[in-house]
Amino acid sequence: MFSEVYIKLPDIKTAYSYSCGRRTCSYSDASIKEGNTKMIRTISNKYGSFIQNWSNQFQIPFGVLVGFIATESGGTMAPPNKFLATGLMQVTPAAIYDSARKWNAEVKSPLPSAARSLIISKIPNFFNTKTSLSSIQSSILRNLQNDANFNIMAGTLTLRWLIERFTDDSGVSRGLNKAMVGYNAGAYRVVLGSSKTGRETPVDSTSLATNRQVPLESRSYLYKLLGKDGFLELIYKNKVI
């Protein structure tokens, strides 16, 4: 139904590192790996049924969604930040509004009926062509913050919409890294690797992670998910869940 998600690990050969007091900490440090492993297992145990359902609906691997949640929120239903990113998958009202309403323009396969039904049950006029984002933003925010199932659906829908944008002509998405940047920085900021025909061509993760055109937060995001001892390597290579 959807394009296959291609995962290569570790796609960045170095680990995410950051300043912690007077020293530099790394995702390869034993204590940090232990903490990240615990976080992954907690997310999987607490929200696994929701994650599995939307993993099946949007055909995105379960582990990828767990990794996104770990990176985005650490597994907490966080309140909106200054950008209105909210909850487990740090979804913004604009992201779900754009991706769901523009779905048919970007994705060949139909929006899963379960997702459409959930959105309508929570926000009845969401798909009305005359409904503006400003008129339903507070309702979207309320559901993103208070309903973990809705939040995971919204994040998974947005991620699948982005993956489809960065899928090559063979039907295999080799642009998961670019989808990650788009999820973090905004879909329309990811322009690296565009071909003259308008198709999005693959670009390696290391190039994205070191390119200053990519926002610093998004570069860090790539290291956390795709780097050595990052969340996806812990999940798929170390098999912590």
Considering only CA atoms, which of 108, 216, 83 is closest in space to residue 160?
108
**C-alpha to C-alpha distance for 158 and 206, rounded to whole angstroms:** 24
User: Which is nearest to 185 in space by CA: 224, 215, 150, 152?
Assistant: 215
Q: Write the CA distances from 157 to 20, 30, 35, 63, 217, integer angstroms.
A: 35, 34, 28, 16, 22
Q: State pLDDT tens for residues 59-95.
A: 999 999 999 999 999 999 999 999 999 999 999 999 9
- Domain borders along the chain are 4-236
Name the token pair of 136. 């339903």
Tokens of 121: 């049950």
Estimate to the nearest angstrom the gap between the alpha carbon of 212 and the chain centroid: 21
DSSP state of 18: E
d(CA 116, CA 85): 21
Residue 110's pLDDT is what?
A: 96
Query: Which pair of structure tokens corresponds to residue 99?
Result: 């991706």
Q: Is the pTM of this model over 0.85?
A: yes
152 contacts 88 by C-beta, under 8 angstroms: yes
Which segment of 30-34, 143-147, 204-208, 221-225 scores lowest on mean pLDDT?
Answer: 204-208
At 4-52, the pLDDT tens digits run 898 989 999 999 999 999 999 999 999 999 999 999 999 999 999 999 9
Which architecture does CATH list for 4-236? Orthogonal Bundle (1.10)
Local confidence band at 200 (pLDDT 50, 70, 90 cut-offs): low
Would you place residue 196 in the very low, low, confident or very high pLDDT band (cuts 50, 70, 90)? very low
